[in-house]
Every structure is written in C-alpha cells, then in structure tokens.
Amino acid sequence: MTGTATTGYWLVLLAAVLWALLGVFSTRLLGAGVPAFEIAFWRAALASPLFIVHAALLKKLRLAPRDAPAFTAFALVGVTLFYAALNLAIEAGGVSLAFVLLYTAPAFVAVLAAVFLGERLTPLKIALVLMSMLGVLLVTRGDGATASLTAVAWGLTAGASYASYYLFGKWALRRYRPVTIFAYVMPLGALGLLPLVEFDVLRVSSSAVWLDLALMGTLSTYLAYFVYYTGLRTVEASRAVLVATVEPLLAALLAALLFGERLGVSGIIGGSLILATAIIAGVRNAPRRSASHATKLSKTP
C-alpha cells in the first residue's frame, strides 16, 4: 500500500468519525430545547457559505438553468427531508437506532433504481433488500426502549431520502463537481426547512448551543464531505465503503458512552444485518480501481 493510499484511507475514516459526531451534536441540541427541524436548518445554512466560497474559488459555480429544477428537487429530498428525518429519528429513538436505519439506504436504492433508472433487480439485490427488511423487523421488535414505531418510521425515511444521493448523483456528477452540487443544494435545502423553523435557538441561545451548531455545519458537514472526496481520489471504492461503514458503529459507541443508549440483543442482530447489507451492496457496486461519481455522492450523510 502506497503512502498516498494510506493517507486516503485515513481521510475516509476521518469523514466517518465526523459524520458519527452528528449524533452527539444533535442529541445535545435536542436536549437544550432546539427542535429537530431547526437543527437541520442550521446544519445546512451554516455549511452553505463554505461550499459556495469553495466552489467560487475553484470557479465552479456555474449551473445550467435547465438543471435548476432537478437541483431544487434533490435539495428538498436530499437536504430538507433527509436532514430533518435524521434528527427526528434521533429525537424519537436515539442515535444508535437512527444511524443503523440510515444504512437501509442500499435497499431503497435497489428498488428505486429499478423503478426510476431501469436498473435490473438481480437475485442478489432482491436478497439484500429482504435481508435489510429482516434487519428492520428485528430492530422494530428490539427489547430496547428506543425501538418505537415512530423512531423506525423516521429512520427509514432518513434511509429512503439518503438513497436519493445515488439516484441524483448518477446524473448530476456527470456534469458537475461535488462542491458545485452542494453549493446549490445546501442553501436550497435550508430554504425548504425555513417555513418549519421558529428560531427557538434564539430563546435557548447559549455559547454551547451555538458551538454545537457551528461544529455540525463546519466539521460534520462541509469538512466531512471535503475529506471524504479527497480520500476517494487515492483509494479503491470497495475498501473505502468498508472504512466509511464504521460511521454507525462509532455513532452507537459514542451514544453508549455519552448518553447510555442500548439497542438490545434483537436490535444489535437486526442492526448487524442492515450494516452487512450496506457493506455487501457497497463492495458489490463499487469499481475496483476508483470510486464512481455516484458512490462519491451517496456516501455523504
């Protein structure tokens, strides 16, 4: 393994750690009285200028007018709905459950790609979908108090909206760089959340709240995407998927250490099946020599 490849793996791992911290920030903000929709809004809003400045410095801000509707639709699903659903899942059932269910995305991708992109639903894909469904069933029937139907519903919504990154990325990344895409979809996604925000953060305002919001927008959003894309330039996508899938495990570990969360035996077994499905799907679909554009975009919580 070359030094450059080693650096790439460390960058992918760093991105996974930064995304896992989303659970910590969200839980603390929810506990401080900041609503889930508002957390999602500030995450997108604070990351937006960073992506815009980055794209402007690279002179990659140009967007063809004919592509604006597609960007807007993706922003509403991939940012507005996804960010809100992830926070609502954390609020309803805790970090561990939310991040495990987030990784049902490959099952949604298999079904949605067959419907909208005409991709073949192979026996392996069907098996992975069924395996993921079994994992969800076990999580739902888990003996932990977090396995409520509301939590599972929001977690699955997060997984389904996360799947849109693959569907949109397969088209958009043939035309635009990732930084260009996020320079547009982040502020559009924040605008989509704006009608749902009552700015309770101003009522509960404290240095700790603003620090968590700032870290969520800068570290766990902008920087996480940046280091992940940088790392993917030098590592095989199949191996990068394995490294990045440590994210829900780290999120669960942090939740256990900091907040005393437990999934229970059934939840752990179900979560393991869901993560195994994500790993198999990622390794199966990833090119051997370098990451495809769609894979690059689809690994960004």
Share of the chain above pLDDT 90, in %: 47
Nearest CA among 165, 168, 164, 135 for reference residue 152: 135
Using H for helix, E for strand and C for coil, what is the string for 113-142? HHHHCCCCCCHHHHHHHHHHHHHHHHHHCC
Measure CA 155 to chain center.
11
Nearest CA among 163, 153, 137, 33 for reference residue 98: 153
- Write out the residue range of the structural domain in which residue 86 sits: 3-298
Q: Is the pLDDT of residue 269 over 70?
A: yes
Number of domains the chain contains: 1
For the beta carbon of residue 149, count every other beta carbon within 10 angstroms. Answer: 10
- What is the average per-residue pLDDT within 88-105? 92
Q: Amino acid letter at 224?
A: A
**Model confidence over 128-151: pLDDT tens digits?**
888 888 888 787 775 544 468 899
Nearest CA among 38, 90, 25 for reference residue 200: 38
**Model confidence over 154-203: pLDDT tens digits?**
999 999 999 998 888 888 888 999 899 999 999 999 999 999 999 888 87
Q: What is the pTM of this model?
A: 0.88
In the block, residue with structure tokens 């996020």 = 182
Q: Is the pLDDT of residue 80 over 90?
A: yes
- What is the average per-residue pLDDT within 212-234? 90
295: which residues sit within 8 A by CB, 6+ positions away?
166, 232, 237, 241, 282, 285, 286, 287
